[in-house]
Amino acid sequence: MNDKKKRSNVITLKQALEMAESHQFAFGSFSPRYTAMIVPVLKAGQAMNSPLIVQISEKELDRYGITPKEFGGEFYAQLERLSITVPVVLHLDHTKALSTIADAIDAGFTSVMIDASEKPLRENIAITREVVHYAHARGVSVEAELGMIGTTDFIETDKDEELYTDPHEAKQFVEATGVDALAVSCGTAHGVYVVRQPKIDFARLQAIRALTPVHLVLHGGSGVPSEMMGRAIRLPGGGVSKVNIATDLELSFLQAIGREERMTNAECLALTASQLEQGREAVELTVSDKIRSFLGSKGFADMYQVQ
Ligand SMILES: [Zn+2]
């Protein structure tokens, strides 16, 4: 465990998802992308009495020019300033470098994702296992990925099926690595659905669940119809308990300030106070809407004995 004094409502991913799975709701894993947008995510969770996850990926840290220390520092500072009492997880999304994982854990992240999904199964197992060993020794949960979750940026519909998570491999992977949560590929994709339509292969999801007790994660939550997501969350035997949502937040922020292009974190911090406020209002509305109509996590904060 790192020496950062954690508040009692900052929990691990494992603690979070156990409760969600047994009560048939899902945690939103929200990526504010800009440090200034951590505030509206936390405020939405508090206002809806909903637990949630704040996340950032290695690629986002790089693209927006943020360090894990800056992101974690802002997260913990705002928890205090806003007197947030709902359960929250600080999660490092898709990461390949072990050094970034170590930096995030030092910065107070309570969950990390190692993504070695492009490697052959044996290598993915070996790398994930190493991260599980390192993180668990420090009281931090681990998510990994098996199969390849597509992006809507390049569309190869014919090859989709080959990238889907194989249920038997999932069982083998979870047993060999001891991972807490598994991102599965079963039809959703990162980004905005324009040409391709979102779909979820429920039979595959059900087969994975039948073979392993690991907590199931869906990436590419932006734009998936809520009925479809609801069915995945309420899957018999324990459905999806974490849904990643990134693109929708940034889109509502940029739209609110009348901008089409994304910016760096420094450019975002240089916006006027009124622009930041407009952006924050839009992001808070988007997060609240996901909590209410998509994840079903509203009101579940009280289930956790952390406040
Ligand atoms: Zn993802």
- What residues contact 154, with CB distance under 8 A and at least 6 apart? none
- What residues contact 24, with CB distance under 8 A and at least 6 apart? 233, 234, 239, 296
Q: What does the alpha-carbon distance between residue 47 and residue 127 come to, in Å, rounded to a whole number?
A: 39
Q: What does the alpha-carbon distance between residue 4 and residue 154 come to, in Å, rounded to a whole number?
A: 41
Tell me the CA–centroid distance for residue 142 and ligand 1, in Å: 14
User: Which domains are assigned to the chain?
Assistant: 3-298 (3.20.20.70)
Q: What does the alpha-carbon distance between residue 269 and residue 272 come to, in Å, rounded to a whole number?
A: 8
Residues with CB under 5 A from ligand 1 (ion): 219
- pLDDT recorded at residue 187: 84
- Look-up: residue for tokens 């199964």? 121
Tell me the CA–centroid distance for residue 92 and ligand 1, in Å: 11
Tell me the CA–centroid distance for residue 272 and ligand 1, in Å: 31
135, burial (CB in 10 Å: exposed 0-12, middle 13-18, buried 19+): buried
Tell me the CA–centroid distance for residue 238 and ligand 1, in Å: 21
Nearest to 28 by CA among 217, 183, 202: 217
Whether pLDDT at 301 is above 90: yes
Percentage of the chain beyond pLDDT 70 is 92
C-alpha distances in Å from residue 256, one per residue of 41, 252, 253, 297: 16, 6, 5, 26
Q: Encode 243-288 in three state secondary structure.
A: EEECHHHHHHHHHHCCCCCCCCHHHHHCCCHHHHHHHHHHHHHHHH
160, burial (CB in 10 Å: exposed 0-12, middle 13-18, buried 19+): middle
- Residues 137-169: tens digit of each pLDDT: 999 999 999 987 776 544 444 444 458 899 999
Find the radius of gyration of the CA atoms of the chain: 18
- What residues contact 245, with CB distance under 8 A and at least 6 apart? 28, 29, 30, 31, 221, 222, 290
Of 3, 62, 93, 115, the active-site residue reads: 93
Tell me the CA–centroid distance for residue 261 and ligand 1, in Å: 21
Q: Would you state the structure tokens that stand for residue 165, as one six-digit string?
A: 């998570």
180 catalytic per annotation: no
Nearest to 88 by CA among 45, 41, 52: 52
pTM, two decimals, is: 0.94
Q: What average pLDDT does this structure show over 269-278?
A: 98
Nearest to 112 by CA among 56, 73, 60: 56
- Residues 187-199: tens digit of each pLDDT: 887 777 766 678 8
- Residues 217-254: tens digit of each pLDDT: 999 888 889 999 999 999 999 999 999 998 899 999 99
| 3-state DSSP percent of the chain in helix, strand and coil, to 5 | 50, 15, 35
Tell me the CA–centroid distance for residue 185 and ligand 1, in Å: 10
Tell me the CA–centroid distance for residue 19 and ligand 1, in Å: 22
- pLDDT recorded at residue 2: 43
- Residues 83-128: tens digit of each pLDDT: 999 999 999 999 999 999 999 999 999 999 999 998 999 999 999 9
Q: Residue 174 — φ and ψ, nearest 5°?
A: -65, -40
Tell me the CA–centroid distance for residue 42 and ligand 1, in Å: 21
- pLDDT recorded at residue 264: 97
How large is the angle between the packed helices 202-211 and 226-233, nearest 10 degrees? 20
